Amino acid sequence: MKMKFQYKQIAAIAAIVMIIGFFSCNKDVPDPVPITQSDPKGNSIADLLNAPEYSILKAAVTRAGMLTALSNKTGTFTLFAPKNDAFIASGIPNETVIGLLPQSTVTALVQYHIIPGLKLGTGDISENYPNVELPTAFTFPAPNTIPFVKFTTYPSRRGSNVWVNNIPIIGKDIEAANGIMHNPPVLIAPPTRVLLDTLSRDPEMRYLLAAVARADSGRAAGTKFADYLANPLYSLTIFAPNNQAFQNLLAAYGLPPDPAAFNFIPVATMQGLLGYHVHILSGTPPPAFSVKFSRAFSVNFPATPTPISTFLATVINPAPPIIISSDLGVKGLANATFSNIVAKDRHAVNGVYHIIDQVLRPQ
C-alpha cells in the first residue's frame, strides 16, 4: 500500500493550480450532505489541537487560517487529524517547516483533511462497494471556472478497519463539541496531477498510451479517451494493463510486440478494449446517454468476486461486466484467469488507476 507522503511532494501541491484547466465537465458532484449539528458543549476541535501531539497540525491549521472555523462550536466538521509522528513520517519534522512552506500549499493540505458540515463517525461509514465520496474543504482553485467544486476524499470501512482513500485510520472517533477527529498514520496528500500526466510519467504505461492514441484516431476533440484522462473534474477508475500485458495481446493477434502495431488493429476494436478497462457505476447508451463514474480504491474492493460495470455500458446494452475481487484481482468476461493487480491506488486529481498484468477481454 502506497501511503508515504514524501517531503519532495509538498511543493507539488502548490503547483496544483497549474493543473486545473479549461476543460468542460459533466462530473457528478456528490449530493449535498445534511449538516449534522454538534452539541456545543465541551472542547472544540481547535481546543483538542492544543495537545502536544498535535503541535505541528495546529501550526498548519493556524497558517491555513482555519483555526477560527475549527474553534466555532456551532459548526460541524470531520477532521482527519495527523499527529506529530504522522507529519514526521511524511517529511515535515516540525512547526518551523510549516512556516517555511507557501501558505497556499499549507492551506490546500489542511483543507483536504477537513470534511465540513458533517460529523462522520467510523460507524457511519458504509461497508458497501464502492467507497463513499465526500467533499472536503479544499476548493478547486483558478483557473477552474466552475465555482464551489471541491476536492473529494473517499472513506471506506471493512469491519473495524477504516480508511480514507487508501490510508488507514489508526485513531478513531475522537469527539469534539463541533465534530469528530480521526488519526491517520501519514498525511493525506491531495493529488497534484491528472491521470494523463501521471500515466505519461509511468514507464509501464507506454503501451497503454499508444493504445489510447490509436483508439482516439479520428475522434472529435472532447470525445477522446485522452480528453477524459486529462479532465481534472472527472472521477475515474482505470484498470491499466502494463506493457507486458499489451505485448501478450499483440502476440495473440499475430502482431509484433511494438506499440506501432496497434495501427493494425481496427480503431473500433481498440475503443471497445479501452472502454472495458474504465469502471463506472452506471451507464446508458444513446439516445438516452448517461454515465456515472466512480473512483474505487483497492481497500474497498469486495473479497467475493463481484461484477461491476464498465464504460461499455454507455455503448451497448446489455454490456459485459468485469469481475473484481480483493483476493483474486480483476477478470474480463473472456479471460480464462484473473489478472493480478500488480500496483494499486495510483492516485490522480481525476481518478485512480490500478496496474494489471492482463488485457481484459469482453469477448
pLDDT tens, residue by residue, 167-182 = 999 999 999 999 999 9
Q: What is the mean pLDDT of residues 44-63?
A: 98
Classify domain 7-183 by CATH architecture.
Roll (2.30)
Q: What is the mean pLDDT of residues 203-230?
A: 96
Fold match flag (7-183 vs 195-356): yes
pLDDT at 153: 95
Q: To which residue does cell 505519461 refer?
A: 200
- Taking the C-alpha atoms of residue 8 and residue 90, their distance in angstroms, rounded to an integer, is 10
- In this model, does residue 111 exceed pLDDT 70? yes
pLDDT at 7: 39
pLDDT at 119: 97
- Taking the C-alpha atoms of residue 135 and residue 30, their distance in angstroms, rounded to an integer, is 7
pLDDT at 3: 39
Write down the pTM of the prediction.
Answer: 0.86
pLDDT digits (tens, 9 = 90+) for 133-175: 999 999 876 665 566 788 999 999 999 999 999 999 999 999 9
Which residue ranges make up each domain of the chain?
A: 7-183, 195-356
pLDDT digits (tens, 9 = 90+) for 6-39: 434 444 433 333 333 323 333 343 444 444 444 5
Closest CA to 208 of 270, 251, 268, 266: 270
Alpha helices by DSSP H, 201-330: 206-215, 225-230, 243-252, 267-275
pLDDT at 161: 95
Task: Give the helix/strand (H/E) hosting 184.
Answer: none
pLDDT at 130: 87
Classify domain 195-356 by CATH architecture.
Roll (2.30)
Q: Is the dihedral of CA 165, 167, 171, 177 positive or negative?
A: negative
Phi, psi of 152 (to 5 degrees): -115, 155
pLDDT at 166: 95
Q: What percent of the chain has pLDDT over 70?
A: 87
| pLDDT, averaged across the chain | 89
pLDDT at 44: 98
